[in-house]
Amino acid sequence: MADPLQIAGFLAVIFAASFGAGIVGSLAGLGGGVFLVPLLTVGFGLDIHYAIGASIVSVIATSSGAAAAYVRDRITNLRIGMFLELATTTGAITGALVATFVQPRTLFLIFGAVLALSAVPLIRQIGEELPAGVRDDVWASRLRLAGTYPDAVHRRNVPYQVTRVPLGLGMMWIAGLISGLLGIGSGVFKVLAMDVGMRLPMKVSTTTSNFMIGVTAAASAGIYFGRGDVLPVVAAPVALGVLAGAGVGTRLLVRMRNNTLRQLFVPILLLISAEMILRGFGVRL
């Protein structure tokens, strides 16, 4: 016999959790898998494959839902996003190709540690509302990557330049590699590449990351979908909850200071780093 109340309750809890993940993800420029995967595996006892399938859906929903608003509001830098997608898609393919030859546990340890270390330059930048003294490098001026975004807090259009594009490309390749190999943590590396690497304003970094993560996730979504890892009863409330959450998050980001956003980002980065290191030691959350 079907139990409609139990099923409705299950859908409601997943929707509510995804709503929260959607708010945080749309602010921080990531997909919210760091919150959803432990909830689904530990909370509901779901198989890790189903949880990662749901996480992929959440990444794509956050990306398209949030980017629709951020692109319209001209906070996302489309040219930077599309140029760097060259590196993320190449990285994702590399990851899928070498996946059979490498030990995921070692990689979780390495990238978890890299993330933890990257908190240092990020924390050092706290207090800096807008990057100062950044000049276009050769790549940035050739490709016309510099831009302007409207900042409601400062009540003006903020122009910015872009530096160390090759470093950004390299970090984006790693972000793609991680998503192809490990399935989590690619959004956080993208934000780092743009904020710490290319020195963009924090809002431009997280919104451009948001814009890009959907493409990175779509590259591997076909694999998960074809394997049957995307369960309708889980994916539907995840997608709807995340979309609703992204609707709220995008309204919040506009009114936030870059510095507040960075302060919000640091603990999330440390959480993702801890989750990766735990998995490296064989603890599956």
Partner 1 sequence: MIGRIRPYLERSFEPLIATLLLGGVGVSAALLVLGLALFLVTGRSGYGEVATVAVLTGPSAASQYPHSIGSILRGVAELRSFAIVELGIVVLVATPVLRVAASVFLFLAEEDRVFVAVTVAVLVLLLSSIFLLH
Give the chain's end-to-end CA distance (angstroms, integer). Answer: 32
Query: In DSSP terms, which residues pair with 151 in a beta bridge?
Result: 156
- Of 2-10, 25-33, 101-109, 114-122, the window that binds partner 1 (rule: CB under 8 A) is 2-10
Buried b (16+ CB within 10 A) or exposed e, 186-206: bbbbbbbbbbbbbbbbbbbbb
**Nearer of residues 87 and 107 to partner 1, judged by Cβ:** 87
- Per the CB < 8 A criterion, the answer to whether 73 and 255 are in contact is no
**Nearer of residues 202 and 213 to partner 1, judged by Cβ:** 213
221 contributes a contact to partner 1 by CB under 8 A: yes
71 contributes a contact to partner 1 by CB under 8 A: yes
- Of 20-28, 29-37, 86-94, 162-170, the window that binds partner 1 (rule: CB under 8 A) is 86-94
Residues whose CB is less than 8 angstroms from the CB of residue 16 and which lie 6 or more positions away in sequence, other chains included: 241
CB of 156 to partner 1, least distance (A): 14
CB of 180 to partner 1, least distance (A): 8
Q: Is 150 helix (H, G, I), strand (E, B) or coil?
A: strand
Tell which one of 42, 86, 110, 123 touches partner 1 (CB under 8 A). Answer: 86
24 contributes a contact to partner 1 by CB under 8 A: no
Residue 37-56 contact track with partner 1, rule CB under 8 A, x = bound: -------x-xx--x------
- Per the CB < 8 A criterion, the answer to whether 214 and 63 are in contact is yes
Q: Quick one: which H or E segment has residue 156?
A: strand 156-160
Tell which one of 123, 148, 150, 152 touches partner 1 (CB under 8 A). Answer: 148
Distance (Å, whole) CA 276 – CA 10: 27
**Nearer of residues 115 and 194 to partner 1, judged by Cβ:** 194
67 contributes a contact to partner 1 by CB under 8 A: yes
* Token pair 């009863």: residue: 233
Residues whose CB is less than 8 angstroms from the CB of residue 244 and which lie 6 or more positions away in sequence, other chains included: 15, 19, 22
CB of 105 to partner 1, least distance (A): 22
Tokens of 13: 């809890």
Torsion angles phi and psi, residue 141, rounded to 5 = -75, -40
8 contributes a contact to partner 1 by CB under 8 A: yes
252 contributes a contact to partner 1 by CB under 8 A: no
Query: Residues in contact with partner 1, total (CB under 8 A)?
Result: 66
What single string gives the DSSP state of each residue in 164-184? -HHHHHHHHHHHHHHHHHHSS
**Nearer of residues 18 and 258 to partner 1, judged by Cβ:** 18
139 contributes a contact to partner 1 by CB under 8 A: no
CB of 128 to partner 1, least distance (A): 24
Distance (Å, whole) CA 194 – CA 206: 8
Binding-site ranges for partner 1 (CB under 8 A) = 1-4, 6-8, 10-11, 44, 46-47, 50, 57, 60-61, 63-65, 67-69, 71-72, 74, 78-79, 82-83, 85-86, 89-90, 92-93, 96-97, 143-144, 146, 148, 214-215, 217-223, 225-237, 239-240, 243
